[in-house]
Amino acid sequence: MTRPILTRLLVTLTGATALAISASAPAHFQELIPAVEIVTIKSGNPVVLQLQFTHPMERGPAMDMGKPARFGVLGPAGQEDLLASLTAREVEGKQAYAAEYRVKQPGDHVFFVEPAPYWEPAEGVMIVHYTKVVVDAFGAGEGWDAEVGLPVEIVPLTRPYGLWTGNLFSGIVKQSGQPVPFAEIEVEWRNDGSVTPPADAFITQVVKADSNGVFHYAMPRAGWWGFAALLEGETPMKNPEGKEVPVEAGALIWVRARDMN
């Protein structure tokens, strides 16, 4: 091997290492996790929902959540503002929230949150993860694909509850109501402590949407799965220092898979 080639190889390797380091920055995920995804007579009502901004596969570290800008539900009775029902709680000393919701009638309930923008100096962006989760009440089976109309939103193509482990989950990534071709979607499992990822690439799975903004992912384990399409927001925001910076507008949806046993 001649010297120039070796030098080039070293430069390439160094570049690759630098890239690998920046790409392995763990993925932030806004969580919106209900105690149950299907409300039955036995499951209990009200439903408790936990909101936390964290790294689900790595079980932290958590980040402080500011008071959400919006929290609500789109259900059989239309849209309901639930902001006043949020209660502050702490996770690992970080600000998080919880809410209780009493289901009043059968039907699918699309809970959603628009968190307060989060300043991430490491990436130079303000992060806003518009997050949804669908809870079915009393087997109604209707309304799970209703669109909230968030600036960025994942609209499920697979009914997002009653899912077995191994099922394929499909959805459309939308921004301002339009499909986003070839959007990148990060996928994480909400680790209960039973899995240690063998390499960083296993922490966050990455899939891309097709030309119609449609993506698919087969869930290999029971539990909660978060799907996050990270898009650039249409208008910049001011960071805490008053400087205009880009916005990472995340469209998230959480779904639960259960084992066949």
Which positions lie near Cu ion, rule CB under 5 A?
Answer: 26, 28
Contacts of 237 (CB under 8 A, 6+ apart): 117, 126, 244, 245, 247
Give the Cα separation of 138 and 88 in Å (integer). 29
Distance, in Å, from the CA atom of 173 to the CA atom of 68, rounded to the nearest integer, reads 22
Nearest CA to 214 among 227, 204, 201?
A: 227
* Shortest CB 176 distance to Cu ion, Å: 26
Is the torsion defined by CA of 101, 104, 108, 112 positive or negative?
A: negative
Q: Give the nearer residue to Cu ion in terms of CB position, either 53 or 97.
A: 53
37 vs 186 by CB, closer to Cu ion? 186
In terms of residues, how long is the chain? 261
**Shortest separation between residue 250's beta carbon and Cu ion, angstroms:** 12
What is the number of helices (H) and of strands (E) in the chain?
1, 21
- Cα–Cα distance for residue pair 131/229, rounded to 1 Å: 10
Output 165 or 239, the one with its CB closest to Cu ion: 239
Minimum distance from residue 181 beta carbon to Cu ion (Å): 26
> Considering beta carbons, is residue 175 or 204 the nearer one to Cu ion?
204
Q: Give min distance, CB of 25 to Cu ion, in A.
A: 6
Closest to Cu ion by CB, 26 or 143: 26
Q: Minimum distance between the CB of residue 125 and Cu ion, rounded to whole angstroms?
A: 12
Comparing CA positions, the residue from 93, 73, 74 lying closest to residue 83 is: 73
Nearest CB to Cu ion, comparing residues 25 and 168:
25
Least distance between Cu ion and beta carbon 27 (Å): 6
Q: Which two tokens stand for residue 49?
A: 């929902």
